[in-house]
Amino acid sequence: MSDSLSAEGAPAPDNASPPARPSASSPSVDSVSACASATVALDLHLPEALRRTERAAATRLAPHTLMSRAGTAVAHWLHGRLPALASAGRQPVLLLAGPGNNGGDAYVAARELHRRGVLVDVWQLAPPTTHDARWALAEALAAGVAVRPAPHTWPQPGTYAWIVDGLFGIGLSRPLEGAAATLVDNIAYAHAHGTPVLAIDIPSGLIAATGIADGPVIRANATIAMLGACPGLFTGIGRDVAGQVLVATLGAQDVPAASGAGLLSTSAPGAFAAHLPKRHHASHKGSYGCLAVIGGHEGMVGAPILSARAGLMTGAGRVYVGFVAPDAPAWDPMHPELMLRHAQGLDLPSMQAVAIGPGLGTSAASAACLSRVLALEDTPLVIDADGLNLLAADPSLAQRVRHRAGPTVLTPHPLEAARLTGCDVARIQSDRLASARALAMRFGATVVLKGSGSIIDDGTRAWINTTGNAGLATAGTGDVLTGVIGALLAQGMPATQAALAAVWLHGKAAERCVEQGAGPAGLTASELLPAIRHELTTLADPAQTARRRISA
């Protein structure tokens, strides 16, 4: 997977003339430096909000300043990563320029690389249509940069050291077609044969607000977002095509934030770490809550067992499993600590949290279990899987969720979300942020819309999770997540923070497993459990983790 990184572009001189190359003793005007990972939240911005920020910043600066800074930041970052042949002027860099301001950024980057002795080829998809882009093209031509129309044929793989995508930016709202689609397909061919790609602002073809692409899309090794990052870089197919994401603020940090700023960000421990359960010597199993996991219709008893095991590994003091199936197992030989019952035999009012849905089924007995759980007015609930399908099928059950006094967390995957909203999966995936918000508002719940870049929304603000990998695309991992959320709720975490923590830990555990050689292909849900415990311990008590390392 790709880490989400924030980067700063130091400001260029506030004038329209090309910035001079900085000396070794002067502050750099064109540097981009990575400074964060998935452990630090990154504010995200919808395209129109970034446009407002851009307009506000431009009013404070001389003409063309932001474009000059953006292109210079691209050139500086790329120059530091060129192979020796390219740095020595013996292997060219290809820059692709579209008709808008992204094309203008590419012209400025080409000019700056040319000034540093790098061979550059600039392919123009169409003549510039904005004032800034026309200025940038004139500056590049005046510096001696050769610009030509994009050809229909592609050179041999390996011709270029890097390809810079400056075709389309965050304003794109339709699929690429015609010459643009052909050019993107050619870039995909070169990329597949080893040529790295850097995208300016966003990979061309990716919709900035939603992370979808209905046509050809650039696959980049890295993306430098200007002024701020859009949510599409982190959800949908964004994580597959954006590569390493950086943000160049272009010296506009002091511009007043747009309305709604701070209500959308990536998820990070800062959003939930203060609420993680603390472990004290003077405590006992009752100090850490009782969790009940209800599910397990015939043929599906493994699902609630996975959830319950995850609850144990996440610190719940006691974990019960209530099965719908009449012939369910009496004990779990892998974890005899679990207390297995028939669902009707559980003392639900004594529980600090209840998770329902894994393997629950949709029979009359299953619906009766959900109805009984919804009678717990104040108990924190997690509803997953068939619990969600029952809500979708019975409006009266859904209404009871809306009117609960206690906190509720819903954890749908896209198909379950589609059933809950009466639409299809394509509609859910076309705007995952809007879909999660609609569900949160409809049910008065914290919603975890699962998928690449899982979205957590509490009806007021939203977070996109950036941990995890393709190893999670296997049966049972959702059941594990449900158990983690339930355990954190049982230990007293607020619902939104429990959901944020669980999704983040779940993803980090998958990353840890893959780093240790388990997956992504073939990673099993059970393998996540000890990794989740490790990540939780590291996060909740870093001093203890450090002591263990020293003693080892």
Please determine, for residue 94, whether its predicted confidence score (pLDDT) is greater than 60: yes
* Burial class (CB within 10 angstroms; exposed 0-12, middle 13-18, buried 19+) of 274: exposed
pLDDT tens digits along 434-450:
999 999 999 999 999 99
SS3 content of the chain, % helix, strand, coil (to 5): 40, 15, 45
- Report the percent of the chain where pLDDT is more than 70: 90
pLDDT for the residue 546: 53
Residue 155, pLDDT score: 80
Given a cut of 70, whether residue 471 has pLDDT beyond it is yes
Q: What digits encode the pLDDT tens for the residues 114-136?
A: 999 999 999 999 999 999 999 99
CA dihedral 219, 223, 228, 229 (to 10 degrees): 30
Query: In this prediction, what percent of the chain has a pLDDT beyond 90?
Result: 87
Mean pLDDT of 482-493: 98
Cβ neighbours of residue 239 under 8 Å, at least 6 residues apart? 1, 2, 233, 452, 453, 466
Q: Which residues contact 542 (CB under 8 A, 6 or more apart)?
A: none
Task: Name the nearest CA neighbour of 258 among 8, 45, 11.
Answer: 45
Indicate the pTM of the whole model: 0.91
What phi and psi values does residue 269 have, to the nearest 5 degrees? -55, -25
Report the Cα 35 to chain-centroid distance in Å.
Answer: 18
**Where does the pLDDT of residue 12 fall: very low under 50, low under 70, confident under 90, or very high at 90 and above?**
very low
Q: What is the mean pLDDT of residues 229-234?
A: 97
pLDDT for the residue 253: 73
Model confidence pLDDT, tens digit, residues 250-309:
988 777 665 566 799 999 999 999 999 999 999 999 999 999 999 999 999 999 999 999
What is d(CA 341, CA 69) in angstroms, rounded to the nearest whole number? 65
Q: What is residue 21's predicted lDDT score, i.e. its pLDDT?
A: 36
Residues in the chain: 552
What integer pLDDT is reported at residue 276 of this predicted model?
97
CB-based contacts of 190-196 (< 8 A; 24+ apart in sequence): 190/154, 190/157, 190/160, 190/163, 191/163, 191/219, 193/157, 193/158, 194/157, 194/158, 195/157, 195/158, 195/159, 195/160, 195/161, 195/162, 195/163, 196/162, 196/163, 196/221, 196/222
Q: At 293, phi and psi to the nearest 5?
A: -115, 120
**What sign has the CA pseudo-torsion 342, 348, 351, 356?**
positive
